[in-house]
Structure 1
Amino acid sequence: MHPILKPALRRGWHDLNTVQFGVTPAHAVVLGPVDTATGSFLTLLDGTRGVPLLRDEARRMGLPDGHVDALLDRLTGAGLIDDATGGGPEADALRRRTAVLDRLRPDHAALTVTTSEPAEGMRKLAARHTMRVQVRGAGRVGAVIASVLAAAGVGHVDVRDGGCVEPWDVAPGGQTTEAVGERREVAAQRVVRATAPARPPRPDRRRTAPRPAEHEQGGPQLSLVIVAPRDGLGIHSPDPVAVEDLMAAGIPHLYAGVVEATGMVGPLVLPGGTGCARCLLLGRADRDPTWPRLLAQWGSGRSSRQVQACDVGLSTAVAGLAAAHGLAFLDGELPSSTGARWETSAPGLDWHARPVWPHPECPCGAGEGGYGKETPVEEEPHDTMAG
């Protein structure tokens, strides 16, 4: 182990004996009392020395035997120590790819802030390279989500969509003006390859038909699917039939999109554990018996051909939040979209969360004891996200 004080946390001294690591209340730690000799020793925790050499340095500074080990235990317990050489073989392989790691250094720094164990951030970053995510939808939201995931180090990002790129699909970080008229799926995959720190293999361009979701036999299994339909109705009232394959295979999936200048991220569906699209449909029909009739009218051919009310600022914000929630899940956390849907509407743009409860009549089984089952039902937003 080569201990290093996490560089992403800024250091400041309250006084001669009290040091603060980090700026924001969410991640800052105050450490004290710290004597002058120990304060000087902290500068040696830069990742260039192993523990035996640090013990030798401490003796030369007049620090007592055992002081280094006790200090490292204290700093590690506070989540302030990283290991410059840890994380396993995958992390070592990533460190050897200097150009790739340079692209991912901000992501690694963020992971060190949000994890506590030494080298856990590097381990999670390296693990992303082995994961496969599918994005269903390559419009203003979906294509940007795909490019963000690829840029964050997810090794396999597949995009599924039909039709050709329209001028109104173009967005920063997503479909480009040069792609107008090209197949959406092909154009989005090119964006993914361009933004990935480690370029994935180029697809076989001899294939002209959209590939089925199960075509990657022998490759990594799907870790997550993000459903980002270009038609906003598909995010406001998602079609359960469209994700039957995911429910049957137990694949987690996250919804994201914009409908009528309202952005939505979630729910993150854990099949059998949280409320799903059918739970959402059944619950809404319980409260409003006319709901199926309204859906049929809203989904009519005439309505679906209209250009969506999806301004580029809101769509980009939704894509960024959805990608962040997806990455949190891939890194082993349950983001706040698990069993809930974050919503914001222009022009106020205040984010709030609505729960998506398991329905007792839904065959998904989440109503039989899934995530969050014991929480009472609420109809109004129950939380507000800062910012």
Structure 2
Amino acid sequence: MVPQMKTALRRGWRDLNTVQFGMAPAHALTLGPVDTATGSFLDLLNGTRGLPLLREEGRRMDLPDGHVDRLVTRLARAGLLDDARGGGPAADELRARKAVLDRLRPDLASLSLLATEPGEAIGRLAARRSLRVQVRGAGRVGALVASLLAAAGVGAVDVCDSGRVEPGDVAPGGLPAESVGERRADSARRAARCHAPDRPPRSGPRSARTATAAAPAPSTVPDASPGTGSTALSLVILTPRDDVAVHAPDPATAAALLASGTPHLYAGVVEATGVVGPLVLPGDTGCAGCLQETRTDRDPTWPRLIAQWRSGAPRPARACDLALATTVAGLTAAHALTFLDGRVPTSAGARWETSLPALHWHARPVTAHPACRCGAAVRTEDGHTSDEEERRATMAVQGPSKESSRTADAARPAGTWRAHV
């Protein structure tokens, strides 16, 4: 191990004996008591010295025997320490690509704030290069989502859509103005490749499995890329350009994904309202069918309205504000990366929505419905959903407390959803 203080957290002294790491409340913490000599020693934890050399430096500074090892252990347990050479073979390969790593250093710094073990952050970043994501829909939202994921280091980002690029599809970071008239899917794929820091590694043994050791068995779903046949996908993101499909996603479009156990995330803009979610973990969280059944229970006229909206004449222009579409794309990519990095975001079992002009984000639970064939509903003997499912829906809306979020990831059972590598 080559200890290194996490550079993403700014350091400041609250008093002569207490150090504060970080400014933002979500990740800041204090450490004390810390004497002057120990405070000076922290500067030596910069990723250039291994433990034997650090012990020698500690003796030169008259630190007590064993103090360096106790300090390193304490900092590691607090989540303040990284390993400059950790992360495994995939991380070593990423370090060897200096130009690529330089592009991704801000992403690495962000991951370091979420990692609990030294070397974990770069291991997760390296694991992204072995993931495959498919974005279905290349409008203002979908094309930008694809570019964001590629730029964040996801190794293979495919885009599926039909038709040709229209002037209204053009957006910063998404489809460029010069692509008008080109095939929409081809243009979106090209834009994603342009933003990627490097080409994805060749397919081979699942050496990156260590970053997602609790992943379920790989799924195989049809891949719309020409000549590729079928391939394992870590996540499918559905970003339809049709506003009806955003507001009321057709369960049939995701039937193959549910059957193969492929996680999928919905997102889009409908009538100046941005939507992110739900993230569907087949057999575990509510899906589009559950959403449809729940809406029908609440409003018996819902199927009639949906039939009219889906059969109506196409509109010349849909209400998809450029800034709102960009906001939705950014949040969608963030939720996707959270899942791909091995955590479950709050979009699992919920739809996050915001509307112009107030832009207040709120979540609507998407609970598993017993009438849906997805099998996610967990029913008790009296016919009600289980307490665990209700708790999950509440957590999706309110979010976990800071204390519970620190312990939930460590206590998560081995069968929990993880992204495929």
Structure 1: how far apart are the matches of 2:225 and 2:190? Answer: 19
Are positions 1:344 and 2:359 aligned together?
A: no
Q: CA deviation at 1:294?
A: 0.4
Corresponding position: 1:212 with 2:224:
yes
Report the Cα offset of residue 316 of structure 1: 0.2
The aligned runs of 1:1-387 (5 Å cut-off) are 1-200=1-200, 212=224, 216=228, 221-302=232-313, 304-368=314-378, 373-375=388-390, 382-383=397-398
How many pairs are equivalent? 374
Letter of the structure 1 residue corresponding to residue 249 of structure 2: P
Residues 230, 111 of structure 1: alpha-carbon distance in 2 compared, 3 angstrom cutoff? same
CA RMSD between the two structures: 2.2
Q: Aligned AA for 1:154?
A: V
Q: Deviations over 1:170-223 (max 9, x none)?
A: 11110111000100000001101100000359xxxxxxxx9637964585x200
Moved over 3 A (4+): 213-219, 369-374, 376-379, 381-385
CA distance in 2, matches of 1:104, 1:378: 34
Q: Helix, strand or coil: the match of 1:34?
A: coil
Q: Secondary structure of 1:127's match?
A: helix
Q: 1:9 to 1:372 in 2, by over 3 A?
A: farther
Percent of residue pairs bearing the same amino acid type: 64
What is the TM-score normalised by the length of structure 1?
0.92
Match of 2:414 in 1: none
- CA 288–306 in structure 1, closer or farther in 2 if over 3 Å, else same: farther
8 Å contact kept, 1:224–1:252? yes
Per-residue Cα deviation, 1:90-133 (whole angstroms, up to 9, x for no partner)? 00000000000000000000000111110110000000000000
SS of the residue 2:234 aligns to = strand
- CA deviation after TM superposition for structure 1 residue 233, in Å: 1.3
Provide the rounded CA distance (Å) in 1 between the counterparts of 2:141 and 2:52: 51
Distance 1:371 1:58 in 2: 56
The one-letter code sitting in structure 2 at the alignment partner of 1:263 is: G
SS at match of 1:20: strand
Shift in Å, 1:307: 1.3
Instruction: Give unmatched runs, 5+ long, in structure 1.
Output: 202-209
TM-score by length of 2: 0.85
Q: Distance in 1 between matches of 2:393 and 2:259?
A: 29
User: What amino acid does structure 1 have at the position aligned with 2:294?
Assistant: G
For residue 318 of structure 2, give the secondary structure of its aligned residue in structure 1. coil
- The 1:121–1:331 alpha-carbon spacing in structure 2 relative to 1, beyond 3 Å, is same
1:191 alignment partner, SS class = helix
Q: Distance in 2 between matches of 1:377 and 1:28?
A: 27
Q: Within 2, Cα distance between the matches of 1:152 and 1:227?
A: 19
